[in-house]
Amino acid sequence: MAIACNSTTMGSLERADNWWRDQVIYQIYPRSFQDTGSNGVGDLAGIRKRLPYLAELGIDCIWLSPVFASPMKDFGYDVADYREIDPLFGSMADFDELLDEAHSSGLKLLLDFVPNHTSDQHEWFIESRSSRQNAKRDWYIWKDQAPDGGPPNNWISNFGGSAWQFDERTGQYYYHAFLQSQPDLNWRNPEVRTAMFDTLRFWLDKGVDGFRVDVIWHLIKDEHFRDNPPNPNYHADQPEIEKNLQVHSADQPEVHDLIAEMRGVIEEYDNRLMIGEIYLPMERLVNYYGKTHDSGVHLPFNFQLLQCPWQTQAIASLVTEYEASLPEHGWPNWVLSNHDQPRIAARTGPSQARIAATLLLTLRGTPTLYYGDEIGLADITIPPERVQDPWAKQEPDTSFNRDKARTPMQWSGKENAGFSSAQPWLPVSDDWQERNVASLDEEDQSLLQLYRRLLAFRRTEQALRSGTYHELYCDPSIFAFEREIEAKRLAVILNFSEEEAPLPDLPDRYRKAKTLFSSVGESRSGLPAHSLRLKPAEGVILQAEEHEG
């Protein structure tokens, strides 16, 4: 599909390989989407069964969290074989069928590539730890103890404790940025690069549409393994990793050359997408677009909305700042939730979740929607005996448990919310009998229907997909911005308050405008702007009088 791109950001190029600019990505956490194997854990056949739901919802591209062979210590982010599907999720034949059927339903499919570390059960690591002379010794990061007999430096694991594990057999430490059972690969070793790039080609040859690359900013560590400096702002209720600033353990300048090489592999194929998972401040995040249009990742995930207080002014200024920081070839993207962070409805409550949906699908850039957000899944109580998250188990005192964002999709009012005939690996929400796809389908104004309407509207409005962005208005209750392409200008006006509010002052071109879309319901369409009062937590889209393009 050729896409007419916004002239202000793309020049006159119309490129099929920019399909992802126009699309909506939907993240599936496979353990929790649909179980067909009656073991309480979702699987590939379950995802296949739900493709019609996804196509009808109106998303375009699915990203699957890892489905590769794994001992599941970090639920698949600990890969034991990059070229096998874990039997828990099905077989390679199931994967091939899923990919085929996704494509024939008009959906693209992205995989999760986990290059920073493997499982300690991966055959490479088993070899590497077997002796100091082993040919794969240098595929991982092995160091002698410090002169005082302790670990080689002060680096802390992202899941708490030292990031170094002493291995008795060979008398050295290995480095693990996450669990002890997730040793980091040594990406400075060219053999590691070749082997891992070949795994990318293995999946690209099968026809996957691209990858989300896990913790991409971690891949290269300081050559001299210097200590990280202490974080002067650390306070005790933060996870232990925050004690130090990650100056030397991640985001090293050399990582960009490596990413350029990885992108080169993606570029061997037509129309594939590379997204990077990166938690960094904006000014460092945008470096991951690369110096040129094909040397970085296409989309460094933008997690700003996940971390920002739910307040108009904070959000409006972060959008402005983000837009201003993008390099010329950088296309924006937005994320509201993922499998590592509290869900949006848990943060904002149910009525603001509607504003959040409207914001996500009207800002400039590729949106990523997280499964279950469309039915308003929020914080779910996880009884202590059912905690699964390895991080929460290692640091039980930190307030957040990632399980709360990973609970089963709720399909119906049937047993276990239609997710599984067995007890699900994590509990469903207390309100599952009402909060499920089948019930929300029946309700005209449900959040699910709002997502469907927004996705359909976005599809028909090129100004929303590829128009320019600029802010129109912001006060503590209302945030309004304009999206413009050629002669078309749309104003998106979001009422973040729980009170009715008058429309803010808008430019004259909206004097005779009519409501094209309202998050409250279709009955508000066509209402003239001059008589419109915003309902509590309502988002509306108005169309300005056309001008000479």
Q: Would you say 139 or 370 has its CB closer to ligand GLC?
A: 370
Q: Would you say 193 or 212 has its CB closer to ligand GLC?
A: 212
Query: If you count DSSP H runs as helices and E runs as strands, how many of each does the chain have, helices first?
Result: 16, 20
Report, in Å, the least distance between residue 406 CB and ligand GLC.
9
Q: Residues touching ligand GLC: how many (CB under 6 A)?
A: 9
The secondary structure of the chain in percent helix, strand, coil, rounded to multiples of 5, reads: 35, 15, 50
Catalytic residue among 214, 240, 395, 538: 214
C-alpha distances out from residue 376 to 110, 165, 356, 371, 458, Å: 24, 41, 11, 10, 20
Report, in Å, the least distance between residue 390 CB and ligand GLC.
8
Residue nearest to ligand GLC (CB): 77
Catalytic residue among 100, 191, 268, 499: 268
Q: Would you say 75 or 469 has its CB closer to ligand GLC?
A: 75
Q: Is 60 a catalytic residue?
A: no
Q: Which one, of 77, 57, 56, 60, lies nearest residue 68 by Cα? A: 77
Q: What is the DSSP string of 76-91?
A: TSS-SEEEEE-TTT--
Report, in Å, the least distance between residue 215 CB and ligand GLC.
5
Q: Would you say 303 or 451 has its CB closer to ligand GLC?
A: 303
Using CB under 6 A as the criterion, what x/- string covers residues 38-77 for binding ligand GLC?
------------------------------------x--x
Distance CA 528, CA 542 (A): 9
What are the residues facing 111 on neighbouring strands? 211
Q: Would you say 18 or 368 has its CB closer to ligand GLC?
A: 368
Report, in Å, the least distance between residue 114 CB and ligand GLC.
6
Give yes or no for a contact between 424 and 408, defined as CB atoms under 8 angstroms apart: yes
Question: How far is CA 276 from its chain centroid?
Answer: 9
Give yes or no for a contact between 203 and 111, defined as CB atoms under 8 angstroms apart: yes
Residue type, 512: K
Q: Would you say 77 or 481 has its CB closer to ligand GLC?
A: 77
Rule CB under 6 A: choose which of 97, 340, 379, 486 binds ligand GLC. 340
Q: Interface residues for ligand GLC in 114-173 (CB under 6 A)?
A: 114
Report, in Å, the least distance between residue 340 CB and ligand GLC.
5
Rule CB under 6 A: choose which of 164, 178, 203, 479 binds ligand GLC. 178
Q: Which one, of 117, 120, 131, 125, lies nearest residue 168 by Cα? A: 131
- Helix ranges (H only) for 173-249 are 190-206
Q: Would you say 33 or 178 has its CB closer to ligand GLC?
A: 178
Give yes or no for a contact between 203 and 196, defined as CB atoms under 8 angstroms apart: no
CB atoms within 10 A of CB 248: 20
Report, in Å, the least distance between residue 337 CB and ligand GLC.
12
Q: Which one, of 479, 452, 447, 481, lies nearest residue 464 by Cα? A: 481
Report, in Å, the least distance between residue 161 CB and ligand GLC.
15
3-class secondary-structure state, position 495: strand
Q: Would you say 178 or 473 has its CB closer to ligand GLC?
A: 178
Strand-by-strand arrangement of the 142-143 sheet: 142-143, 172-175, 164-167
Report, in Å, the least distance between residue 212 CB and ligand GLC.
9
Question: How far is CA 414 from its chain centroid?
Answer: 30
Rule CB under 6 A: choose which of 141, 196, 215, 537 binds ligand GLC. 215
Q: Would you say 65 or 429 has its CB closer to ligand GLC?
A: 65
Q: Is 222 a catalytic residue?
A: no
Using CB under 6 A as the criterion, what x/- string covers residues 250-289 for binding ligand GLC?
---------------------------x------------
Distance CA 382, CA 301 (A): 28
Rule CB under 6 A: choose which of 60, 120, 209, 214 binds ligand GLC. 214
Q: What is the DSSP string of 384-430?
A: GGG---HHHHH-TTSS--GGGGSPPP---SSGGGGS-SS--SSPPPT
Residue 209 within binding range of ligand GLC, rule CB under 6 A:
no
Report, in Å, the least distance between residue 100 CB and ligand GLC.
27
C-alpha distances out from residue 418 to 331, 369, 409, 449, 536, Å: 38, 21, 8, 19, 33
Residues recognised as catalytic: 214, 268
Interaction site with ligand GLC (CB under 6 A): 74, 77, 114, 178, 214-215, 277, 339-340
